């Protein structure tokens, strides 16, 4: 059985060679890119199963690459693990909010990267079929398979993370979730985040949703919930 295809993006030749060698040793198929522009082109043409992406790239940097990939319907579902030499909280938070799935700081252990890749791929394939059901409530339709939200028939363009949060809340109307629960559901466990980063995502969601933003309620001192109003219809 063919192993998953990994796209490795880094402009430092020695790091790129190290990653390629070790991932091939782990029996992954590997392709590479040395710039943001090349990464975007190969991601769209090859559709890898996962991307290991350095943030410090010439031309289009890794954060911009992440944003462009996640906002493209063709590449939006490809998991991304960020590589950064900075180790700065702001870069990590920004990348995760844009939709990256994990991050590793340089210097790194190739074995750790291989383990992280396998963990992210496991989460990708472990989706519950019920998570793909279409949710309809009044003027709102959420289509997980297409990562699409419609309000009064008009498509609302959400980032990867915004959609994940909105869908998570809408699946369980009336339930109250803490910020930590929301982050874990969308990103997995052990991610560096702050309460503020979740609040920023919610604020952006409400603004984009317009009148449908009323469905997201703040529960003071706890977190957020999807307002339980009317009958929720879930289609298989």
pLDDT digits (tens, 9 = 90+) for 1-32: 458 999 999 999 999 999 999 999 999 999 99
Number of domains present in the structure of the chain: 2
Task: Read off the pTM.
Answer: 0.63
Are the C-beta atoms of residues 29 and 6 closer than 8 Å to each other? Answer: yes
Same domain? For 134 and 108 the reply is no
Same domain? For 16 and 93 the reply is yes
The CATH number of residue 24's host domain is 3.40.50.2300
Same domain? For 111 and 194 the reply is no
Write down the H helix ranges in the chain: 13-25, 36-46, 62-70, 89-98, 110-125, 160-171, 179-187, 195-209
Q: Which two tokens stand for residue 27?
A: 């029996």
Question: Residue 84 in 3-state DSSP?
Answer: strand
The CATH number of residue 229's host domain is 1.10.10.10
Q: Name the domain boundary from 73, 108, 125.
A: 125
- Give the structural domain span for 142: 129-235
pLDDT digits (tens, 9 = 90+) for 23-62: 999 999 999 999 999 999 999 999 999 999 999 898 899 9
Integer CA distances (angstroms), 55 to 80, 109, 119, in order: 11, 18, 21
Same domain? For 88 and 138 the reply is no
Same domain? For 40 and 56 the reply is yes
pLDDT digits (tens, 9 = 90+) for 62-113: 999 999 998 887 888 899 999 887 656 677 778 887 888 888 888 888 888 9
Residues constituting the chain: 236
Same domain? For 76 and 100 the reply is yes
Are the C-beta atoms of residues 4 and 28 closer than 8 Å to each other? Answer: yes
């Amino acid at each position: 059985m063919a192993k998953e295809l990994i796209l490795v993006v880094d402009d430092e030749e020695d790091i790129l060679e190290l990653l390629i060698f070790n991932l091939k040793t782990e029996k992954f198929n590997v392709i590479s890119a040395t710039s943001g522009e090349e990464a975007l082109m190969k991601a769209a043409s090859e559709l890898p199963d996962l991307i290991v992406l350095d943030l410090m790239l010439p031309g289009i940097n890794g954060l911009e690459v992440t944003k462009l990939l996640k906002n493209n319907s063709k590449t939006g579902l490809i998991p991304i693990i960020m590589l950064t030499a900075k180790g700065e909280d702001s870069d990590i938070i920004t990348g995760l909010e844009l939709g990256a799935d994990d991050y590793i700081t340089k210097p790194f252990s190739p074995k750790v990267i291989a383990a992280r890749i396998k963990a992210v791929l496991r989460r990708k394939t472990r989706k519950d079929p019920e998570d793909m059901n279409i949710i309809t409530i009044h003027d709102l339709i959420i289509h997980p398979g297409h990562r699409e939200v419609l309000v009064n028939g008009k498509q609302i363009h959400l980032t990867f993370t915004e959609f994940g949060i909105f869908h998570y809340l809408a699946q369980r109307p009336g339930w109250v979730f803490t910020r930590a629960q929301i982050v874990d559901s969308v990103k997995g466990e052990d991610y560096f985040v702050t309460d503020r980063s979740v609040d920023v995502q919610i604020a952006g969601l409400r603004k984009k949703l317009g009148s449908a933003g009323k469905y997201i309620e703040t529960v003071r001192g706890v977190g957020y919930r999807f307002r339980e109003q009317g009958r929720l219809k879930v289609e298989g």
